[in-house]
Homo-oligomer: A and B are copies of this chain.
Amino acid sequence: MTSAEISTDTRAHEFKGSVVISVDAMGGDRGPAAVVAGIALSADKNPDIRFIVHGPRAELERLIAKRPGLAERCDIRDAPGVVTMEDKPSQVLRKGEGTSMWSTVESVRKGEATVAVSCGNTGALMALSMLRLRKLPGVNRPAIACLWPSRNPQGFNVMLDVGADIRADAQDLLTYALMGASYARNGLGLALPRVGLLNVGTEEHKGRAELKQAHELIGLSAASANFEYVGFVEGGDLPSARVDVIVTDGFTGNVALKTGEGTAKLVGDFLKEAFGNSVLSKFAALLAMTSLKRLQKRIDPRRVNGGVFLGLNGTVVKSHGSADETGVSAAIKLAFQLAQSGFHDRLAARIAQSLTHETAGISGAESKRTS
């Protein structure tokens, strides 16, 4: 049993019967009112969650008191400082103690909460999480995983890395495959997730050297790590039903994520303009309201709100900076699912197992050579 597993077991005993989520009330574009509204929404829907809420005590008490029954389910941690969207990660590492973001991560580090949720500055949150939670043994580069609307029955695919790091070598990409598969099993309930490696073509000879090497490594690990490897996939496959988890470096993943969001928004805007063009089309839009709402719900970024930081000693969910109560509640729901499934321990165990395999492989090869 690894040390990570032992410490998390202890946590589970402390909060028997309910899951505790650590929530940063500050740092989002809509301020603490939207975050508390999201907490209230989740509290209503799910009686098994308790919250530790971080921010200026007086303001939080006032906001929480407005919601009947919420105060009993929230512990407030007074943290007067706020990390803004403009703050550089390096500044936050030096002077961030006392901010709500620091305090939010700290609750997971101390084992008071299982998962942290923040709407704040992504770069600062990742830097703080790496500093305080530290990387899991065997992980060189942590990753951010996002959910992508797809044609699959589960409605979403997982893509990682979408921006934790701008580089990834073959070994990192293998780690991403292991972590992404673990996330898909625990977050999306897929028994045998299908993993694909993002490239500019599906033929084996295509792409950069590190991709060809990762292609080999991931293929060799699939059986023992309990996922199916479908090989190279292309940008057009991100929303497809032929894959559940898409592995790529953080530069390409970030560009793809923002390109997808930008395209969906463009089509949505064009659709609105098209329907706003004449009296007849406005009338048609009125009739089509239900259909349009159904469409909006399927591609609503608020429903897939939550980038998950993977590869640390603890799980952190990054909500969109502009998240409203629906968005915050979706991020909390994701955090709850991951906490309840024991995701973190399973992921740590999977990485540890892969390390053991590698060591065994190396010592096996060495003993062959020496014998």
Instruction: Kindly list chain B residues whose C-beta atoms are within 8 Å of the C-beta of A280.
Output: 287, 290
Tell me if B234 and A258 are in contact (CB < 8 A): yes
Tell me if B288 and A281 are in contact (CB < 8 A): yes
A200-B251, A251-B252, A291-B277 known; A268+B266 contact, CB < 8 A: no
Copies of this chain, count: 2
For this complex, 18 residue pairs linking A to B, each with C-beta atoms less than 8 Å apart, are A166-B207, A167-B208, A235-B258, A236-B258, A238-B259, A239-B262, A252-B252, A255-B256, A256-B256, A267-B268, A267-B299, A274-B295, A280-B290, A281-B287, A281-B288, A283-B287, A285-B288, A288-B288
A240 close to B (CB within 8 Å) = yes
Task: Please report the C-alpha to C-alpha distance between residue A280 and residue B271 in the assembled complex, in whole angstroms.
Answer: 19
A 147-169 to B, binary, CB cutoff 8 A, 1 in contact else 0 = 00111000000000001001100
Instruction: Kindly list chain B residues whose C-beta atoms are within 8 Å of the C-beta of A284.
Output: 284, 287-288, 291
Q: Using a CB-CB cutoff of 8 Å, which residues 263-308 of chain A contact chain B? A: 263-271, 274-275, 277-278, 280-281, 283-285, 287-288, 290-292, 294-295, 298-299
Which of A206, A278, A292: most chain B Cβ within 10 A?
A: A292
Tell me if B163 and A200 are in contact (CB < 8 A): yes
Instruction: Kindly list chain B residues whose C-beta atoms are within 8 Å of the C-beta of A277.
Output: 291, 294
Tell me if B274 and A255 are in contact (CB < 8 A): no
Chain B residue at smallest Cβ distance from A149? B266
Tell me if B250 and A238 are in contact (CB < 8 A): no
